[in-house]
Amino acid sequence: MAEQDVPLSEDEVRQISRLIETLNASTFDYLQLEFGDLKLTLAKGGQGLAPAAAAVASAPPPAIVSSVAAAPPAAAAGSSPAPATATPAAAAAARPDDGTVAIVSPMIGRFYSQSEPGAAPYVSIGSTVGPESTVGLVEAMKMFNAVHAGLAGVITEICVQDAALVEYGQVLFRVRAS
C-alpha cells in the first residue's frame, strides 16, 4: 500500500471485520487480499507469514485498527497476531473444568440458533434440555443439520453467535448435566 492512509467507508470496515471473524473461525493461518492500491493481510495464531506478506502486514492503515471495534486490534492490524487461544472457540475449550459439558458442532458450517428468522431461539441460558433436544442448526451446502444436546441438563453458556461460521468440534454451548 502507498505511504498515504486510505480512508475506508463504514461498509468496508464491516466487511474487513467479517473477514477477521471468518479467519478466526477457520483453520487458515492468514489471509491476503489485494484490491487496486489496497493490500490487506490478516494473520492469526502467531503463525509466520511469507516475507512479502509480513512486509504488508507490518504497515496497516490506522483506519482499520481504530474503526474495527468488534475485532481485537492485533487481529485487525495483523502485525502482531493474537495467540490461537484468543478465538472464542479456543478460549471456551481451554476453560478449566467447571463441571459443565460442552456441546460441539458436528460439522463445519453456519450455526443458527433458531429455526427461521424471527423465530424464538431453540435454547437460551437457563433452558433445560434432554439428550434429543435440538439446540441449534448447522447449515452446510444448503442442508440444515440439527444439533442435539446429547445429554440432560441446563444450558449455562452460549459460546457462538447466531449465523456464525463454526468448525467441526467447536464448542457451541456449555451444559450443567443433571
Tens digit of pLDDT for each residue in 17-28? 787 788 777 777
Residue 32: per-residue pLDDT? 75
Residue 45: per-residue pLDDT? 57
Tens digit of pLDDT for each residue in 95-108? 557 889 999 999 99
Residue 74: per-residue pLDDT? 39
How far lies 98's CA from each of 92, 93, 95, 103, 176, in Å?
11, 12, 8, 14, 9
Residue 144: per-residue pLDDT? 93
Phi-psi region of 86 (alpha: psi -120 to 50; beta: other; left: phi over 0): alpha
C-alpha cell at 92: 471456551
Residue 24: per-residue pLDDT? 77
Hey, CA dihedral for 141, 70, 36, 47, is it positive or negative?
Answer: negative
Residue 157: per-residue pLDDT? 95
Residue 95: per-residue pLDDT? 57
3-class DSSP string for the chain:
CCCCCCCCCHHHHHHHHHHHHHHHHCCCCEEEEEECCEEEEEECCCCCCCHHHHHHHCCCCHHHHHHCCCCCHHHHHCCCCCCHHHCHHHHHHCCCCCCEEEEECCCCEEEECECCCCCCECCCCCCEECCCCEEEEEEECCEEEEEECCCCEEEEEECCCCCCEECCCCEEEEEEEC
Residue 63: which of 100, 102, 21, 16 has the closest Cα? 16
Residue 140: which of 112, 116, 102 has the closest Cα? 112
Domains along the sequence of the chain with CATH: 10-86 (no CATH), 88-177 (2.40.50.100)
> Which parts of the chain register pLDDT below 50?
1-3, 46-92, 94
pTM score of the predicted model: 0.49
Residue 11: per-residue pLDDT? 80
- Measured between alpha carbons, how far is 25 from 10 in angstroms, rounded to an integer? 23
